[in-house]
Chain A
């Protein structure tokens, strides 16, 4: 029998038992949609991590306050440490004679604040930094200009808004030259007015947070206005110093030299700071944002079990179907159907059920992934990325299940004795 006739015959047989066929498909549908969703979420979080590492800029070292013991590295990343770095540390590192491999240095202080402008308000992270920040972090101003040396020296009340902050506060209106009120402290009791001089280019989320939801002001301005940032020696603390290197190969040398300099400057034996490469920072963040192992395992188990159950269900139904249609098989054999014809007919039926189940599962899985993408589920922000590979793989798996669980019933059917089959009631 030609393959088109085989498919037509199989389709007619399945269509004659619509309810049964669709129930048989159910296990495969659930399994395949779980596989698709699982892979989409897995791939999504992977891609998120990769992108956020790339988004950090290149060849970066981060210096943060805190002890450098390996066990405490995490603590350093998440804060809770005494502030030990000061802005002059940053300026000392930015010495081309001593550290020829350093391309740029940007100290920063960041805190949460409320912003009010043009009748709108929002909360955002305010970063006090220096003009070099944009080169160091590879994150540039889109419209207007970034903080200038002049803004630093005169401790100007100027601000550069992140892309989304500008949108939230000003909508379609041009924020350049407009005034933004910044409120800090308990109940927002301390307020300052800043003039907007620039808006950053859109960048998206990186390991250090959503880089479109920021506002930049000159570091000295912040230090001058917010007293808690001054330490007992009268120096101004910073939360982080980003160091951009000319070459990735200089990481080890730079780490060693900078550590020596800081130990000398801070006059300590035990390091009161930690130096991390951008990959180390990204890995720590990635571990936090990645979908939890438990959730992953649970979903994989659901997918695997329902695929196996679906397959067994198909085998069961096919065996029943062969028994029910024994007489039909006898008739077909009497009409000249070979064993191969009968085998193919039942195998194609099983394949059609699983492949149709696979197709519906793919549609369901893609819809689920699309729905879940960008949402927060079980306190985890989910990112789903559907790939062609996942879809092809899911199809392949459903075909393999059809073959694996369909071959035995089909073989049984093909081996039936035509005389006995013809007399089957």
Chain B
């Protein structure tokens, strides 16, 4: 469903061209949970931006669900971001002023959808935030903020979730809680997830781990680590996610 062919990206630092990606070929199957790892400057954020239609490759083609995204213009990319992609950021990127219920409705605003309230409520309840609907970001813990952000990306039923260091601003325990949410979304709803991280423990939740270095994929392997959820030992997403510690 995601197919990158010979993707390059060159930035200009003043007049000097700086290559960020140098011929990346990558296919992500539907329902796959992919972790992208690599040292800083390896091009993993650039890759994620291109996957998220926030940036356009200098050359190469990007196909998403059979659509040749690399040929689209700015307005069409905005529509793709809205319909197909959900973002989760390291710093949550919630709007300061809005209560959770309105945060989650934000993507739906740009889709002119009726029934926003109900869908947003459902998404928040699914993530165990039923008692946090009217809370603004400052009134929420880091883990809760990230869960609001995940609810916001889920509300549009995206085909691809892109997470950029989603646990980077959280303590270890909360980070694992968030990762277990991703894992369950992947397992139970079959949502494709691409995750950028530099932590092995986080990457261990993925099916497949891709290593980038100097703008190129240097390794691409399936994950055999024990961190994968193999049994339904834990309650489903809608149920017990509230067990997470409220660490600020």
Q: Is B134 an interface residue (CB 8 A)?
A: no
Q: How many Å from the CB of A418 to the closest CB on chain B?
A: 5
- Do the beta carbons of A334 and B87 come within 8 Å of each other? yes
- Do the beta carbons of A334 and B52 come within 8 Å of each other? yes
Q: Is A312 an interface residue (CB 8 A)?
A: no
Residues of B within 8 A of A2 (CB): 109, 112
Residues of A within 8 A of B49 (CB): 419
Q: Is A336 an interface residue (CB 8 A)?
A: yes
Q: In the docked arrangement, what's the CA distance between A346 and B11, Å?
A: 30
Q: Is B152 an interface residue (CB 8 A)?
A: yes
Contact among B78, B93, B106, B109 with A339 in the assembled complex (CB-CB below 8 Å): B78
Q: How many Å from the CB of A405 to the closest CB on chain B?
A: 24
Q: Is B228 an interface residue (CB 8 A)?
A: no
Q: Given A331-B93, A422-B89, A336–B81 Cβ distance below 8 Å?
A: yes
Q: Is A335 an interface residue (CB 8 A)?
A: yes
Q: Given A336-B81, A422-B89, A1–B95 Cβ distance below 8 Å?
A: no
Residues of B within 8 A of A103 (CB): none
- Do the beta carbons of B97 and A335 come within 8 Å of each other? no
Q: In the docked arrangement, what's the CA distance between A16 and B96, Å?
A: 11
Q: Given A336-B81, A338-B79, A339-B78, A328–B95 Cβ distance below 8 Å?
A: yes
Q: Is A341 an interface residue (CB 8 A)?
A: yes
- Do the beta carbons of B75 and A338 come within 8 Å of each other? yes
Give per-residue flags for B41-56: 1 if the beta carbon is below 8 A from chain A beta carbons, else 0.
0000000010010110
Q: In the docked arrangement, what's the CA distance between A331 and B110, Å?
A: 12
Q: How many Å from the CB of B101 to the closest CB on chain A?
A: 14
Q: Is A163 an interface residue (CB 8 A)?
A: no
The chain A residue with its CB closest to the CB of B75 is: A338
Q: Is B8 an interface residue (CB 8 A)?
A: no
Q: In the docked arrangement, what's the CA distance between A390 and B142, Å?
A: 55
Q: How many Å from the CB of A329 to the closest CB on chain B?
A: 11
Q: Is B128 an interface residue (CB 8 A)?
A: no
Give per-residue flags for A331-374: 1 if the beta carbon is below 8 A from chain B beta carbons, else 0.
11111111111000000000000000000000000000000000
Residues of B within 8 A of A9 (CB): 109
Q: Is B145 an interface residue (CB 8 A)?
A: no
- Do the beta carbons of B79 and A12 come within 8 Å of each other? no
Q: Is B118 an interface residue (CB 8 A)?
A: no
Give per-residue flags for A1-20: 1 if the beta carbon is below 8 A from chain B beta carbons, else 0.
11001000100110010000
Q: Is A164 an interface residue (CB 8 A)?
A: no
Q: Is A137 an interface residue (CB 8 A)?
A: no
Q: Is A327 an interface residue (CB 8 A)?
A: yes
Question: Restricting to A94-109, which residues have a CB under 8 Å from any CB of B?
Answer: none
Residues of B within 8 A of A341 (CB): 78, 110
Contact among B81, B97, B109, B112 with A334 in the assembled complex (CB-CB below 8 Å): B81
Residues of A within 8 A of B112 (CB): 1-2
Q: Given A341-B110, A419-B49, A336–B83 Cβ distance below 8 Å?
A: yes
- Do the beta carbons of A335 and B55 come within 8 Å of each other? no
Give per-residue flags for A240-263: 1 if the beta carbon is below 8 A from chain B beta carbons, else 0.
000000000000000000000000
Question: Restricting to A1-43, which residues have a CB under 8 Å from any CB of B?
Answer: 1-2, 5, 9, 12-13, 16
Residues of B within 8 A of A338 (CB): 74-75, 78-79, 110
Q: Is B197 an interface residue (CB 8 A)?
A: no
Q: In the docked arrangement, what's the CA distance between A9 and B106, Å?
A: 10
The chain A residue with its CB closest to the CB of B80 is: A336
- Do the beta carbons of B78 and A422 come within 8 Å of each other? no
The chain B residue with its CB closest to the CB of A340 is: B75
Residues of A within 8 A of B68 (CB): none
Residues of A within 8 A of B52 (CB): 334
Q: Is B107 an interface residue (CB 8 A)?
A: yes
Question: Restricting to A271-330, which residues have a CB under 8 Å from any CB of B?
Answer: 327-328, 330
- Do the beta carbons of B78 and A336 come within 8 Å of each other? yes
**28 A-B contacts, Cβ less than 8 Å apart?**
A1-B112, A5-B109, A12-B97, A13-B97, A327-B93, A328-B95, A332-B106, A333-B78, A334-B54, A334-B93, A335-B81, A335-B87, A335-B106, A335-B107, A336-B83, A336-B107, A336-B110, A336-B156, A337-B78, A337-B82, A338-B74, A338-B75, A338-B78, A338-B110, A339-B75, A339-B78, A341-B78, A419-B54
Residues of B at the A interface (CB closer than 8 Å) are 49, 52, 54-55, 74-75, 78-79, 81-83, 87, 89, 93-97, 106-107, 109-112, 152, 156
- Apart from A328-B95, A337-B78, list 20 A-B contacts with CB within 8 A: A1-B110, A9-B109, A16-B97, A327-B93, A332-B106, A333-B54, A333-B81, A334-B54, A334-B87, A334-B93, A335-B81, A335-B87, A335-B152, A336-B79, A336-B107, A336-B111, A338-B74, A339-B74, A419-B49, A422-B54
**Which 3 residue pairs across A and B have the least CB separation, nearest first?**
A336-B82, A338-B78, A335-B107
